[in-house]
C-alpha cells in the first residue's frame, strides 16, 4: 500500500490490516512520520513529535507478533473494551499482554495525545511556558492504557495554554493552522489534536473537554469529537483546568473509531475519586448496525436562534430532515436556563482554574524566574511565564471566590448549574437525545477574536451546558457551510448513556454528506 493510502485509513481499518498482516505497524508509523515531516511546517499541530520512539514501539509490536508468536486479541468490540494489561513485556516499549497472554486488538495503530496529558519521560507542558522542559515521572492513566495496549504515540498535540481558549492561539508554542484553510483557527483548546486528525497526521487523537475543547475543534476541522460522561475516562494525570468539568475523550475521523478509542481508555480508576465505579455499556458495539428508527430527538430551542451563521443552521436543518426521514421522531424542546450557561461557566471554570493553577509557583514543576525572596520568585515566575488569557482567568476566578463576592458570583453560578441540570432532566423525560449545531460559525480567521475575549467565549455557547451537567456530547460533521468550511452537529445524551450517542452518531454520519479535507502540500 502507498503511504498516501495508509494515512487516509481510519484507525479501525488500520487495525484490520495489521490483523491480516497486510500492513506492519512500522509501515504505518513510517507513513504517518513522513507525512508529519511534510505538513508540520505549515500546520504546527504538535508541540513535540515522538516519532523515533513511535518507531521503536511499532517495531516491538511487529516483532512480538511475527517472531515470538504472541497473538493480538481478536478485533471485537468486547476485546477492545475488556482487554486489561497484566504483564508488561518490555520496559522500553512498555507493551503489555492480558491474562490470556494476548496483545490489545488495536496494538500497532498510532495515536496523537494532547499535551495536557501527563506522559512519563516525555515533556508535558499543557501549552504553557511555565512547564517547558517538564518531564513527568509518571503516566496519566489514559496514557498508561495507550502504552500498555501497544499504540505508538506520534507526539503531543498543541493547545491553548492550560486548555483556556477556543482557537489554539493562546499556546506558548505557536499557533496551529486549520488544514482546511491555513489562515483559519483549528478551534481550541484542542486545535492540535483536531488539526492532526483532519490533516491525516494521525488516525485518531486524545483531546480534553472542559467547555467544548474536543467538540468545537472537531466541528471546525470536520472531525468527530466526543466528550464522554464526566467520570467515564480517568482524569488522573490530566493537568487540571477545572476539575468538576474536565473530561478526556476521542478525536477521530469517524464515529466507530471514537467509540473504539473511548472503550480503550475508559473504565474505573481508583486514582481518580470522581471516576465512575460501574462499567458502562460498550460503545463500539453500539455503532454496529446502528439505526435511528424509534429514537426520540429534541432540538434545543435555545441553541437554534440568532447568532448561528445561516449556512451552519442550514446544514443543521438538513440533518434534522434526514433524522426524521430515517424514522426518528423530532420535536423542539426548551432548556430555558441554557442562556445563563456561558455566564455560569465563566465563573465556575476560572474559580476552579485559579485554585488548580496555584501549584505552578516555580517551586515544584518546570521553569522558575529567580527573585530575592521566595515570594518574589513566585511572582516573577507567574508574571513572566503565564500568558495573558491564563492571567485573566486567574484574576476572574480569584475575584469570584473572594470572601465578599463568593455568594454573589461563585454561589450564584453553582445555582445556575443546578438549574441547567434540571433543564436536562426535564428534556430527557421527553426525548432520548438532544441536538444543536456544535458551534455558531465555521472556523474564523486567525487573529480575528484574539483581542475580544467575549467574542471568543461566545463560541462555547452550545458546548458548555453538557460540561456543566456532566452529560456526554458528541460533534460530527454536518457538511460544508460558509466559505466551504466544515460545520458540526452536536448530540447530547443523559449521563452514562455514551453508547446511545455512539449509536445515534454512527447512524447519522451515514446520512450526512461525507467531507474530506482538501489539504495539499507541495
Q: Grid coordinates standing for 200?
A: 491525516
Chosen residue from 128, 166, 219, 262 binding ligand GLN by CB under 6 A: 166
Instruction: Select the residue interacting with ligand GLN from 94, 432, 460, 498 (CB under 6 A).
Output: 460
2 is catalytic: no
Instruction: Using CB under 6 A, pick the residue from 149, 163, 175, 508 that binds ligand GLN.
Output: 163
State the minimum distance, in angstroms, from the CB of residue 97 to ligand GLN.
35
Are 99 and 19 spatial neighbours (Cβ–Cβ below 8 Å)? no
- Hey, what's the cell of 486? 466544515
Q: Answer yes or no whether residue 505 interacts with ligand GLN by CB under 6 A.
A: no
In what helix (H) or strand (E) does residue 264 lie, and over which residues does it extend? helix 255-265
Long-range own/partner contacts, residues 63-69 (CB < 8 A, 24 or more apart): 64/89, 64/95, 64/103, 65/103, 65/108, 66/24
Which one, 43 or 464, has the nearer CB to ligand GLN? 464
Q: Identify residues 288-317 at the interface with ligand GLN (CB under 6 A).
A: none
By beta carbon distance, the residue nearest ligand GLN is 213
All three cell numbers of 430:
421527553
Active-site annotation holder among 128, 167, 213, 344: 213
213 lines the binding site for ligand GLN (CB under 6 A): yes
- Determine contact, residues 216/459, Cβ cutoff 8 Å: yes
- The x, y and z cell numbers of residue 43, run together, are 500546520
Size of the site for ligand GLN (CB under 6 A): 13
CA dihedral for 290, 285, 252, 469, sign (positive or negative)? positive
Nearest alpha carbon to residue 90 among 119, 115, 53: 53
Phi, psi of 433 (to 5 degrees): -135, 145
Among the listed residues 199, 206, 349, 501, the single contact to ligand GLN using CB under 6 A:
349
167 forms part of the interface with ligand GLN (CB under 6 A): no
List the one residue from 126, 141, 157, 189 that touches ligand GLN (CB under 6 A). Answer: 189
Using the CB atoms, write b or e for 88-123: b if 16+ within 10 Å: ebeeebbbbbbeeebbbbbbbbbbbbbbbbbbbebb
- From 3-11, 82-90, 164-172, 378-386, give the range in contact with ligand GLN by CB under 6 A: 164-172
Report the residue from 241, 348, 443, 501 that binds ligand GLN according to the rule CB under 6 A: 241
- Piece of the chain touching ligand GLN by CB under 6 A; list 87-95, 132-140, 211-219, 355-363: 211-219
Buried b (16+ CB within 10 A) or exposed e, 170-209: bbbbebbbbbbbeebbbbbbbbbbbbbbbbbbbbbbbbbb
Is-cis flag, bond preceding 398, omega within 30?
A: no
Kindly state the smallest distance separating residue 457's Cβ from ligand GLN, in Å: 7
Specify the 3-state DSSP secondary structure of 303.
helix
Whether the Cβ atoms of residue 205 and residue 157 lie closer than 8 Å to each other: yes
Can you tell me which of 164, 172, 205, 485 binds ligand GLN, judged by CB under 6 A? Answer: 164
Cell numbers placing 128: 504553557
Which region, judged by CB under 6 A, interacts with ligand GLN, from 33-41, 208-216, 229-237, 473-481?
208-216
Nearer to ligand GLN, 212 or 488 (CB): 212
Q: Choose between 155 and 249: whose C-beta lies nearer to ligand GLN.
A: 249
Q: Is position 213 annotated as part of the catalytic site?
A: yes
Q: Which segment (7-15, 61-69, 158-166, 403-411) binds ligand GLN by CB under 6 A?
A: 158-166
Interface segment toward ligand GLN; rule CB under 6 A; list 150-158, 205-213, 318-326, 380-388: 205-213
Q: Is 189 a catalytic residue?
A: yes
115: contact with ligand GLN by CB under 6 A? no
Annotated catalytic residue, options 17, 60, 81, 114: 114
E strands present in 258-325: 296-300
Residue (24 or 157) nearer to ligand GLN, CB: 157
CA distance 159 to 175: 9
Set 171, 181, 189, 344: catalytic member: 189
- Only one of the segments 5-13, 161-169, 276-284, 432-440 lies at the binding site for ligand GLN (rule: CB under 6 A); that segment is 161-169
Rounded to whole angstroms, the Cα distance separating 46 from 202 reads 11
212 lies in the site for ligand GLN, by CB under 6 A: yes
**Pattern 420-449, ligand GLN, x by CB under 6 A:** ------------------------------
Q: Work out how close the CB of 435 gets to ligand GLN at its nearest, in angstroms, rounded to a whole number.
A: 20
Binding of residue 209 to ligand GLN (CB under 6 A): yes
| Nearer of residues 389 and 423 to ligand GLN, judged by Cβ | 389
Residues constituting the chain: 522
Rounded to 5 degrees, φ, ψ at 366 are: 60, -135
SS3 509: helix
In 363-463, alpha helices (H): 374-385, 388-401, 412-428, 453-458
Considering only the stretches 159-167, 356-364, 409-417, 426-434, report the one whose residues sit in contact with ligand GLN under the rule CB under 6 A. Answer: 159-167
With a CB cutoff of 8 Å and minimum separation 6, the contacts of 177 are: 42, 43, 44, 183, 184, 186, 195, 446
Annotated catalytic sites, by residue?
Answer: 114, 189, 213
In the complex, which residues of this chain contact ligand GLN (CB under 6 A)?
A: 163-166, 189, 209-213, 241, 349, 460
Amino acid at each position: 500500500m502507498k503511504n498516501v493510502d495508509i494515512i487516509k485509513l481510519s484507525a479501525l481499518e488500520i487495525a484490520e490490516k495489521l490483523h491480516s498482516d497486510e500492513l506492519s505497524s512500522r509501515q504505518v508509523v513510517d507513513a504517518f512520520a513522513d507525512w508529519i515531516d511534510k505538513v508540520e511546517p505549515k500546520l504546527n499541530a504538535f508541540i513535540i513529535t515522538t516519532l523515533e520512539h513511535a518507531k521503536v514501539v511499532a517495531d516491538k509490536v511487529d516483532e512480538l507478533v511475527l517472531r515470538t508468536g504472541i497473538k493480538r486479541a481478536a478485533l471485537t468490540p468486547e476485546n477492545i473494551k475488556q482487554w486489561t494489561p497484566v504483564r508488561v513485556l518490555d520496559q522500553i516499549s512498555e507493551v503489555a499482554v492480558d491474562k490470556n497472554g494476548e496483545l490489545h486488538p488495536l496494538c500497532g495503530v498510532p495515536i496523537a495525545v494532547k499535551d495536557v496529558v501527563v506522559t512519563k519521560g516525555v515533556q508535558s507542558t499543557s501549552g504553557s511556558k511555565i512547564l517547558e522542559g517538564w518531564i513527568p515521572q509518571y503516566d496519566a492513566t489514559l496514557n498508561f492504557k495507550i502504552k500498555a495496549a501497544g499504540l505508538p504515540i506520534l507526539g503531543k498535540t498543541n493547545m491553548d495554554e492550560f486548555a483556556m481558549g477556543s482557537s489554539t492561539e493562546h499556546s506558548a508554542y505557536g499557533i496551529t493552522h486549520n488544514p482546511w484553510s491555513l489562515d483559519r483557527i483549528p478551534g481550541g483548546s484542542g486545535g492540535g489534536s483536531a488539526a492532526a486528525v483532519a490533516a491525516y497526521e494521525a488516525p485518531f487523537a486524545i483531546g480534553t473537554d472542559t467547555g467544548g475543547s474536543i467538540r468545537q475543534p472537531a466541528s471546525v476541522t470536520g472531525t468527530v469529537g466526543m466528550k464522554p460522561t464526566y467520570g467515564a475516562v480517568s482524569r488522573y494525570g490530566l493537568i487540571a483546568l477545572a476539575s468538576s468539568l474536565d473530561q478526556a475523550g476521542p478525536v477521530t475521523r469517524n464515529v466507530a473509531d471514537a467509540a473504539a478509542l473511548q472503550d480503550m481508555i475508559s473504565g474505573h480508576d481508583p486514582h481518580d475519586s470522581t471516576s465512575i465505579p460501574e462499567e458502562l455499556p460498550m460503545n463500539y458495539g453500539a455503532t454496529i448496525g446502528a439505526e435511528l428508527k424509534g429514537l426520540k430527538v429534541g432540538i434545543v430551542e435555545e441553541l437554534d436562534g440568532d447568532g448561528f451563521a445561516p449556512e451552519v443552521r442550514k446544514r443543521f436543518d438538513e440533518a434534522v430532515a434526514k433524522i426524521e426521514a430515517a424514522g426518528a421522531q423530532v420535536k423542539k424542546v426548551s432548556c430555558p436556563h441554557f442562556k445563563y450557561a456561558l455566564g455560569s461557566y465563566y465563573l465556575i471554570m476560572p474559580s476552579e482554574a485559579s485554585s488548580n493553577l496555584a501549584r505552578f509557583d516555580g517551586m515544584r514543576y518546570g521553569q522558575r524566574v529567580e527573585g530575592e525572596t521566595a515570594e518574589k520568585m513566585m511572582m516573577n515566575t507567574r508574571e513572566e511565564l503565564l500568558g495573558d488569557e491564563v492571567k485573566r482567568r486567574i484574576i476572574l476566578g480569584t475575584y469570584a471566590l473572594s470572601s465578599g463576592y463568593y455568594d454573589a458570583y461563585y454561589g450564584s453560578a453553582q445555582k445556575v448549574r443546578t438549574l441547567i441540570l434540571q433543564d436536562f432532566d426535564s428534556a430527557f423525560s421527553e426525548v432520548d437525545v438532544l441536538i444543536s449545531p456544535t458551534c455558531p460559525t465555521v472556523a474564523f480567521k486567525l487573529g480575528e477574536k484574539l483581542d475580544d475575549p467575549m467574542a471568543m467565549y461566545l463560541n462555547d455557547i452550545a458546548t458548555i451546558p453538557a460540561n456543566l451537567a456532566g452529560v456526554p456530547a458528541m460533534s460530527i460533521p454536518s457538511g460544508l457551510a460558509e466559505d466551504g468550511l466544515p460545520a458540526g452537529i452536536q448530540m447530547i445524551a443523559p449521563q452514562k448513556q455514551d453508547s446511545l450517542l455512539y449509536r445515534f452518531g454512527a447512524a447519522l454520519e451515514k446520512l450526512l454528506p461525507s467531507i474530506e479535507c482538501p489539504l495539499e502540500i507541495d
